[in-house]
Structure 1
């Protein structure tokens, strides 16, 4: 292999982490099918770095023949297959990575020498080498994806997962039709849960046992609905009795983590509690190791989760916090603005009255009316109240009811 190629590849080996971060960011931005799950994004990051390291080591050693892909690349391909992500998205990621690395190397060649002939020769050599590497690797990861997809679709769990996906996405479904698909009663009160574990033999079995243990702890009288999302993740719905609280959920197994929504009833509640559990999981996966906990509830993580969600979910949360105070009319708008200013002044009626050009007694009266509309005092969950009022102030009817 060309000396310039070998020398440059060896020099760039020390820049792998930065290059991998750049590539992953671009892949997630340009290939929507790969984005959406922090755990999958983390696995993509490992696969990209492993591929770069192996490729650069081979190029620096003057080797061109393709080899077996890294284990992380095969695992990522299998995980995408389990999630139903098409193989075309995976191949596009490899092509994008090839193009980015090639551009980086050409720029490095130009910094190394001002000899045009040497740059052209090195570029031709590197292009051929990267094509051979990607071509060889692609064959293996495509095969891994296809084999896993075939196996996954043949499993009973995959059939149930497909039915759950239909129920979660099918706005036109009736409750009876959804219940027949799931074999699960939707009229009851359910608590959404997402459980995940490190990869390894028996991961889904461990997660299933953990979900059933939690269901027992919460006093569930019927079996939970447990659906594998992939080889390391389950989605679950627990038929919790009245009084069953997400904050009572604990994780007994040290290698299992849980994210929990708020209880909901009916088909809408089935969907909402699942969305909340997914949002709580996203917060848990985004936390550093020191802040991570075995169980993350939407009740605790809701404020942070809102930064990752859409306006529809935000509106539902605002209504849950403010109750009738989130009503979309002029009367309740005046009440919201008054108590928003009151809370901003740490509950000082005098200061709020001065800012609003109102009499102090008017502020007191509106506070009482706001608490009546909400159904509880403003100090009950005060931080949530302040954020919800701010959302109403900034977004208006988009979050009102």
Structure 2
């Protein structure tokens, strides 16, 4: 049900965090409907998990009409499943009565459920729009949208110096498990402080994500250290933009952080907790038009673009071999295999390419780099449904 709703209504958001919020609400609603079916004395159709998701929708800007449409889609899915079970499990002579009972119960359930959800949405919306957090978020969104703002007034509202140099972060939970968003905030601020930021700004985005900025008068040449050099708690992922100056730089580094986050979410790596835009910029540019990027990969790599473990081994070995100046020894050290294994894999990869690897070295290296960053998302056939995050 959650998969169907998120597919039909993109406003609910992509990624594991927004999906988990939606899934908790749909699962709790189905369990409550089953209880009401067994025990008609249970009169409250709403669940705390659904209300929690309702509040999250408000804070992420999901419109009420989309929330209500999601509820109607859920009702349709529940009705279909219950009726199909009735046809399978109930003797033929009892089915008409049981189906009438099911229809009545589901109507009573969804009527009460949708009423509670609408009431809570409007109440949370009133609370949210009058809060300081909403005012700060509105100011940040106005800046990001390129609206004309009084920079000094905005800086006072945000308690953050906008005229200096900035580095932006996008942060999210790798595996949402009910962990407090305060932990995400502490991780983002701690990382920025570790990068020597003298001021920070954090804007929560729903329960499972946030945007953050760090600033100082002038960043060092290597403002964001290499991934792994600053500790980040397990289950938290960060994506960083490059240094930007002033209001324009505030927007630029944020856009880069979002791009880095989308590529990281398209190809999650458990050993990579921090992704820097500088490290994936080429892949971000190449994948701006993902269908065309996939066609490029298919043309350049041919059978090497297969979604198999063997093809992945050949691609990775060939990538290291070319990056090391065609050194078998260096490639063997980097891939942790024997030199003869590298030689065999390179020969096999060249056979699959159908030409000497030096003939189109630039194109081949570019394609291999793109696959390395995007992972399986880059190899999805162009005719398959687009399931990767929107670029």
TM range (shorter): 0.5 to 0.7
Q: Check whether the contact 2:54–2:121 (CA below 8 A) recurs between aligned residues.
A: yes
Report which structure shows greater RCO (CA 8 Å, sep ≥6): 2
- What is aligned with 2:31? 53
Mapped partners of 2:225, 2:12: distance in 1: 30
- What is aligned with 1:297? 275
- Counterpart check, 1:243 vs 2:222: yes
**Counterpart mapping for 1:147-158 below 5 A:** 147-158=123-134
- What is aligned with 1:102? 79
Mapped partners of 1:187, 1:382: distance in 2: 37
Cα gap change, 1:292 to 1:84, in 2 (>3 Å):
farther
Mapped partners of 1:227, 1:178: distance in 2: 18
Cα gap change, 1:148 to 1:232, in 2 (>3 Å):
farther
- What is aligned with 2:306? none
Cα gap change, 1:253 to 1:188, in 2 (>3 Å):
closer
- Counterpart check, 1:276 vs 2:259: yes
Mapped partners of 2:60, 2:125: distance in 1: 9
Q: Give the unaligned 5+ runs of structure 2.
A: 297-317, 327-345, 383-391
- Counterpart check, 1:265 vs 2:244: yes
Higher helix share: 1
**Counterpart mapping for 1:112-131 below 5 A:** 112-113=89-90, 115=92, 118-131=94-107
Larger radius of gyration between Structure 1 and Structure 2: 1
Q: Check whether the contact 2:244–2:253 (CA below 8 A) recurs between aligned residues.
A: yes
Q: Check whether the contact 1:192–1:262 (CA below 8 A) recurs between aligned residues.
A: yes
Deviations 1:153-201 (A, max 9, x none): 112221221222233344xx57x86786566436625242425586577
RMSD between superposed Cα atoms in Å:
4.7
- What is aligned with 2:369? 384
TM-score (norm. length: structure 2) = 0.63
Deviating beyond 6 angstroms after TM superposition, the runs of 4 or more aligned structure 1 residues are 176-180, 312-315, 354-358, 385-388
1:91 to partner: Cα distance: 1.9
Mapped partners of 1:73, 1:135: distance in 2: 14
Mapped partners of 1:383, 1:200: distance in 2: 37
Mapped partners of 2:106, 2:136: distance in 1: 41
1:87 to partner: Cα distance: 2.1
SS of 2:226's equivalent? Answer: helix
SS of 2:199's equivalent? Answer: coil
SS of 1:224's equivalent? Answer: strand
